[in-house]
Amino acid sequence: MMVPLLDLKAQYRSIREECLAVTEEIYESQYFILGPRVEELEAGIARYCDSPYALGVSSGTDALLLALMAGGIGPGHRVITTPYTFFATAGSISRVGALPVFVDIEPDTFNISPDLIRKCIEDMPEAQRKTVKAVMPVHLYGQCADMDPIGDLAREYNLMVIEDAAQAIGSEYKGRRAGAMGDVGCFSFFPSKNLGGFGDGGVVTAHSGQLYEEMKILRVHGGHPKYYHRKIGGNFRLDALQAAIVSIKLKYLDDWTAARQENAGNYRRLFKEAGLEEIVKCPVEKENRHIYNQFVISVERDRDELRQFLTENNIGNEIYYPVPLHLQECFAYLNYRKGDFPVSEHAATHTLALPVYPELADQQLEYVVEQIRNFYFKR
């Protein structure tokens, strides 16, 4: 049996006619960038994310960049974030000229630890503490970070909160939606995200009209009015085609999320029935709505051998992420060392993402668990 990690063709088959119709309409209109299609999506996303403002942008990475730029964050500033995330999180901080400051994660959710953020800030010399301007929690795999204590810290130390919600559209923390808790929420429409386009794209949500207006201007090179530049922005525009496709998919997102959650529930039950509970730890859900962009298990032993075994048996899998960011070559100048963030380092060597996409058939999911059982008990 073949079980890919993600099967976008299955999803496309269910929305093909709608996508082709809207694509043709856009070709006929020859209106490709921003415009009514993008505005329609922005309104839809703002509603969906319970946020007063949403702005379509060119990618999730650019969403992060734009948020930092609008916050006035740059050289001489520090931004606290997690080392256990996709590269863009810390990459964007560096690209505006600020320094990423890493803080380790919680072992059960893989999200940044608020207690360790506090410790990090309190241990800094005062001059350094004053340069900390923002905190960028990541809602990893589709589950929100522990936002209440992060919000308390942000108020106490006057920090901007930029949610990296690229993997977490529709995710909730104590009833509040991802992207509606911080100053800015950054989302990605990369095809493998729960709400993916047919190419690159993203959106930022904003809590204040002021930040929203600032980002809107920076999205078009900082020109306001056009050709008059008080600030230097970039080309962070979203295509009409991407916006139209994402708007179509948004209608089905809750159904797809429910299917992912059902798959996650089935994995939990089957791992238990297979007697694998001691060896395979399933994702822990806190007081959150987890949307399972990834279903990531943590295994007691032999992760790499398991991975190879699954691959040989045609089961898609991936390691998110094999190298924590503090150990990346490009961040050597930050002077972190191996051992600095033991929880992240442990996660990098013990976790594995399994297929959880909405169209995954029950027999496929059962096959995945059966093969993992074979690996641990029958070799």
Dig out the tokens for 216 from the structure.
């809107």
In the bound complex, what is the minimum distance in angstroms from residue 12's beta carbon to ligand PLP?
A: 19
Choice between 56 and 371, CB closer to ligand PLP: 56
CB under 6 A: which stretch of 86-94, 102-110, 128-136, 371-379 binds ligand PLP?
A: 86-94
According to DSSP H, which parts of the chain are helical?
8-29, 36-48, 60-70, 88-95, 114-123, 126-129, 147-157, 209-219, 240-250, 253-273, 303-312, 342-350, 362-373
In the bound complex, what is the minimum distance in angstroms from residue 219's beta carbon to ligand PLP?
A: 15
Q: How far is CA 230 from CA 17, 66, 70, 226, in A?
A: 45, 16, 13, 11
Among 6, 55, 60, 242, binds ligand PLP (CB under 6 A): 60
195: how many CB neighbours lie within 10 A of its CB? 23
In the bound complex, what is the minimum distance in angstroms from residue 82's beta carbon to ligand PLP?
A: 9
Number of residues that bind ligand PLP (CB under 6 A): 15
Is the peptide bond preceding residue 225 cis, with omega within 30 degrees of 0? yes
Torsion of CA 14, 18, 22, 27, to 10 degrees: 70
Dist CA 63 CA 97 (whole Å): 16
In the bound complex, what is the minimum distance in angstroms from residue 184's beta carbon to ligand PLP?
A: 13
In the bound complex, what is the minimum distance in angstroms from residue 93's beta carbon to ligand PLP?
A: 12
Site string for ligand PLP, 183-222 (x = CB under 6 A): -----x-x---------x-x--------------------
Choice between 58 and 261, CB closer to ligand PLP: 58
Among 11, 51, 61, 298, binds ligand PLP (CB under 6 A): 61
Q: Is 143 one of the binding residues for ligand PLP (CB under 6 A)?
A: no
Choice between 279 and 356, CB closer to ligand PLP: 356
Choice between 194 and 247, CB closer to ligand PLP: 194
**DSSP-assigned beta bridge partners for residue 112:** 105
In the bound complex, what is the minimum distance in angstroms from residue 202's beta carbon to ligand PLP?
A: 5
- For the chain, the residue count is 379
Pick from 54, 40, 43, 48: nearest CA to 244: 40
Dig out the tokens for 198 from the structure.
């047919």
Choice between 136 and 276, CB closer to ligand PLP: 136
CB under 6 A: which stretch of 5-13, 20-28, 83-91, 111-119 binds ligand PLP?
A: 83-91
3-class secondary structure for 104-125?
A: CECCCCCCECHHHHHHHHHHCC
Pick from 187, 227, 247: nearest CA to 36: 247
Dist CA 290 CA 278 (whole Å): 23
Q: Which residue has the tokens 């929100």?
A: 144
Q: Which of residues 154-183 bind ligand PLP (CB under 6 A)?
A: 164, 166-167
Q: Is 263 one of the binding residues for ligand PLP (CB under 6 A)?
A: no
Q: Is 88 one of the binding residues for ligand PLP (CB under 6 A)?
A: yes
Residue whose CB is nearest to ligand PLP in the complex, by number:
60
Tell me which residues touch ligand PLP (CB under 6 A).
59-61, 85-86, 88-89, 138, 164, 166-167, 188, 190, 200, 202
